[in-house]
Amino acid sequence: MKILMVLTSHDRLGDTGHKTGFWLEELAAPYYVFKDAGADLVLASPKGGSPPLDPKSDAPDAQTAATVRFNEDADALSALAATHRLKDVVEGDFDAVFYPGGHGPMWDLAEDADSIRLVEQAFSAGKPVAAVCHGPAVFRHARGALGEPLVKDKRVTGFSNEEETAVGLADVVPFSLEDELKKHGARYERGVAWQSYVVADGRLVTGQNPASSAAAAEDVLRLLR
C-alpha cells in the first residue's frame, strides 16, 4: 500500500505580508494513520524540497499528539525536507492520493497543471483521492471523464465560509472554497465549525477542517481495504 501526500509550495498569505503554507496537523495526523497501518508514504510538492509550514500551525496552542510525534520523528522530518517534485510523480506508482490543507493550496495547487493531471488520472483509475480543509481547492479545475467538473453532483466538504470568516481571511484568499465547490456543481456539505466532518462519495474523500484530517485518512484506508 503506497500513498502519495501532496503539499503546497506557496508561502505568501496574499498581500498581508504574513506567511502561510501547509497546516501541520493536516499532514501529521493522516501521516500516522497511514504509517501505523503499514503504508509506504511519499511526500511531494510543486517545487520539491522543503515545503513551507504555516507558522500558526506550529504554535503551542495548535499542537496535537500527532504534531508532537511528527516533530520528534527524524524520519518524518527528513522526508518533509526532501519532498519530490510533483511533475516527477507518476500516478501509477500509488494506490491513493491525499492532499493536506493550509491556505497555501488556494494559490498554487488549485492552479497547478501537474496536480490537476494527478487528480484526474488517479480518480479515473478508481483510486481514492482525498483532501482536507483547503486541500479541496485542488479540485477547482479538475475534470471527469466527460469533461465536466470532477466534483459535479458529488458530495464534498471543505473549509467553510463561516470558518474562513472566523479566521479573518475571507477577504484575503483568492476565492471562497465553499462557493467555488458549489459553483462547479458539487453538493457541498458542512458540519459544526472546527469539529471533525468528513464526506466520502465513492472514492472521493473530503474533510472540512484540521480536526477532520485523521478521520479522512481512516476513510481512505477503508477504501483501500
pLDDT tens per residue, range 153-207: 999 999 999 999 999 999 999 999 999 999 999 999 999 999 999 999 999 999 9
Domain count, the chain: 1
pTM here?
0.97
pLDDT at residue 75 tops 90: yes
Q: What is residue 182's predicted lDDT score, i.e. its pLDDT?
A: 98
Q: What is residue 145's predicted lDDT score, i.e. its pLDDT?
A: 82
Residues 39, 85 contacting (CB under 8 angstroms): no
3-class DSSP state of 197: coil
pLDDT tens per residue, range 101-145: 999 999 999 999 999 999 999 999 999 999 999 999 999 999 998
Dist CA 78 CA 72 (whole Å): 11
pLDDT tens per residue, range 207-221: 999 999 999 999 999
Question: Of 87, 96, 105, 45, which Cα lies nearest the Cα of 204?
Answer: 96
Residues 20, 13 contacting (CB under 8 angstroms): yes
Domain carrying residue 153:
2-224
Q: What is residue 132's predicted lDDT score, i.e. its pLDDT?
A: 98
Mean pLDDT of 25-34: 98
Q: How many CB atoms lie within 10 A of CB 152?
A: 13
Question: The domain spanning residue 65 has which CATH number?
Answer: 3.40.50.880
